[in-house]
Structure 1
Amino acid sequence: MGLAWRGWGRQGFRLLERSLLLWKLMAVIFAALLFCEFLIYYLVIFWCGWPEVAAPARGGEQAPVLRAMVLADTHLLGEVQGHWLDKLRREWQMERAFQTALWMLQPEVVFILGDIFDEGKWSSPQAWAEDVGRFQKMFRHPAHVQLKVVAGNHDIGFHYWVTSYKVKRFEKAFGSERLFSRKGVNFVMVNSVAMEGDGCNICAAAEAELLEISRQLNCSREVRGASLCGAGRRLPPSAPILLQHYPLYRASDANCSGPDAAPPEERSIPFKERYDALSLEASQKLLWWFGPRLVLSGHTHSACEVLHGAGTPELSVPSFSWRNRNNPSFIMASLTSRDYALSKCFLPQENTVLATYCGVAGLLTGLVLAHSGWLALPFLSGRTVLRTHKAR
Structure 2
Amino acid sequence: MVNSVALEGDGCDICSQAEAELVEISHKLNCSREQVQGSDQCGDGQWLPWSAPVLLQHYPLYRISDANCSGDDAAPPEERSIPFEERYDVLSGEASQKLLWWLQPRLVLSGHTHSACEVLHAGGVPEISVPSFSWRNRNNPSFIMGSLTSRDYALSKCYLPFEDTVLTTYCGAAGFVLVLVLAHFECLASPFLFGWNLLRMPTPTTR
When the two structures are superposed, what TM-score results if normalisation uses the length of structure 1? Answer: 0.47
Q: How does 1:70-81 map to 2 (within 5 A)?
A: none
The alpha-carbon distance between structure 1 residues 227 and 373, as it changes in their structure 2 partners (threshold 3 A), is closer
Matching residue of 1:299: 112
Q: Give unpaired runs (5+ residues) of structure 1.
A: 1-188
Equivalent residue for 1:75?
none
Counterpart of 1:348, as a letter, is P
Q: Percent identity?
A: 73
Is 1:201 aligned to 2:43, yes or no?
no
Shift of 1:237: 1.0
Q: Deviations over 1:286-321 (max 9, x none)?
A: 111121110001111111111111221000111222
Give the whole-Å Cα distance in 2 for the aligned partners of 1:369 and 1:289.
68
Give, in whole Å, the separation in 2 of the partners of 1:267 and 1:210. Answer: 32
Structure 2 residue matching 1:221: 3-state secondary structure: helix
Which has the higher relative contact order, 1 or 2, with Cα contacts under 8 A spaced 6 or more apart?
Answer: 1
Following superposition, the deviation at residue 273 of structure 1 comes to 0.4
Q: Note the alpha carbon deviations across 1:118-160, whole angstroms, 9 max, x for none.
A: xxxxxxxxxxxxxxxxxxxxxxxxxxxxxxxxxxxxxxxxxxx
What's 1:324 paired with?
A: 137
CA distance in 2, matches of 1:314, 1:191: 17
Distance 1:218 1:365 in 2: 67
Query: Aligned residue for 1:383?
Result: 198
Q: How many residues align?
A: 200
Whichever residue aligns with residue 297 of structure 1, its letter is S
1:177-203 per-position Cα deviation (integer Å, ceiling 9, x unaligned): xxxxxxxxxxxx111111112223221
CA contact (8 A) 2:34 2:40 kept: no
Separation (CA, whole Å) in 2 of partners of 1:322 and 1:381: 39
Partner of 1:280: 93
Note if contact 2:33-2:50 (Cα within 8 Å) is conserved in structure 1: yes
- Deviation string for 1:62-118 (max 9, x for gaps)? xxxxxxxxxxxxxxxxxxxxxxxxxxxxxxxxxxxxxxxxxxxxxxxxxxxxxxxxx
Tell me the SS of whatever aligns to 1:268: coil
Alpha-carbon contact 1:241-1:295 (below 8 Å) kept: yes
For residues 181 and 124 of structure 2, the distance between their equivalents in structure 1, rounded to whole angstroms, comes to 63
What RMSD, in angstroms, separates the aligned Cα atoms of the two structures? 2.6
Larger helix proportion of the pair: 1
Which residue is 2:147 aligned to?
334
Residue 343 of structure 1 aligns to a residue in which SS?
strand
Contact 2:135 2:141 in 1 (8 A): yes
1:369–1:375 CA contact under 8 A, matched in 2: no
Closer, same or farther: CA 197–373 of 1 in aligned 2, 3 Å: closer
Determine which of 62, 72, 76 is the counterpart of 1:249: 62
- Point out where structure 2 has 5 or more consecutive residues left out of the alignment: none
SS at match of 1:383: helix
Q: Could you tell me which residue of structure 2 aligns to residue 230 of structure 1?
A: 43
TM-score normalized by structure 2?
0.85
